[in-house]
Amino acid sequence: MGTTVYPLTFEPVFRDYVWGGRRLETLYGRALPPGIVAESWEISGHASSPTRVDVGPLQGRTLPQVLDVWGLDLVGTHSAAMLARGRFPILVKLLDANQPLSVQVHPDDAYAGEHEHGELGKSEMWHVLHADPGAELIYGLAEGVTCESFVRALEAGTLESQLRRVRVRAGDSVYVPAGTVHALLAGTVVAEIQQNSDTTYRVYDWGRVGPDGKPRPLHVAQALDVINWGSQAPEIVRPRPVEVGAGFVRRELVRTEPFVVELVELAAGATYHGECTGASFELWGCVQGAASVSSAHGEAALPAVRFCVLPAALGAYTVRATRACACLRAYFAAPRS
């Protein structure tokens, strides 16, 4: 293993897609590069944009390099198959939708593995950090939509009639499994927890052009292959209480085969005690208020909005609310037998 494991925080990697803005700066005081910032990759082991450790003995190393050093002590036994592929399982982003994102869909693992050179599929969840009054997103298809009606609408330029719009507000969570047509629309800022994949099939991009003055590529054939044409899952998650303690409540938001995501709310000064037993790493991100995470081997400050990785071999840890706070907690579920 080498270096003793400790809570890891990272330098974000920014992306400047055409739909972005500056609200990560104005809402959260982030230091941003000039121009449009659409995404901040907070915790990433993806080859296209790996994040680097910002403090401690492994400062400057990318997450894939940390994976090479710590192996199972980082990800845990539940992620042994991902470790064999040299992949950290989960990717965390912040997205600032100043304009609507493209209407898109992601493949599952089987389709991506066959058609995207062994890439992973992409299921994801959004936690809405900010929503302008009346903000919406696109989630799934309108009632009665078929593949045939979808294609006809694409050809006629009337695709919006085929899509389901959902009103959102700050604090909402939305699970987007692979195969679900979706798009963030203007006026939303979200934290996204997803499989470690960057495979996206665009089907519609609102007629706009990219920085080069040309329309951005679409991937209609692939999208038609992977869209779930059946019934849609509920769009807004109903949190399920799983633990109530002294000054805190823990609620489950998403439980799916790749990952589990919870919302942990703590009163000012309250603590939550957990343990990384070797089965899975944990991701903690403060999305409101302020907290810290400490263990025998180090501490990480978590102002809103900030994420950290607790290695699987970390052992006991404590989350303390320095102000009343809400935190996202994510970990990798045991693989199905």
DSSP letters for 177-229:
-TT--EEE-TTEEEEEEEES----EEEE-TT-B-TTSSBPP--HHHHHHH---
For residue 29, give Cα distances in angstroms to 23, 32, 40, 62.
Answer: 9, 9, 13, 24
Query: Among this protein's residues, is 52 annotated catalytic?
Result: no
d(CA 175, CA 261): 10
Across 217-297, where does the E strand assignment appear?
240-245, 248-255, 260-266, 271-276, 282-295
d(CA 139, CA 73): 37
Of residues 333, 207, 226, 225, the one with CA closest to residue 282: 333
Residue for token pair 């665009």: 202
Catalytic residue among 30, 61, 202, 306: 202
- Exposure string (b/e) for 279-318, b if CB count within 10 Å is 16 or more? ebbbbbbbbbbbbbbbbebbbbbbebbbbbbbbbbbbebe
Cα Dmax for the chain: 62
In degrees and rounded to multiples of 5, residue 150 shows phi and psi of -65, -45
Beta pairing class for 103-105 and 52-53 = unpaired
Catalytic residues: 202
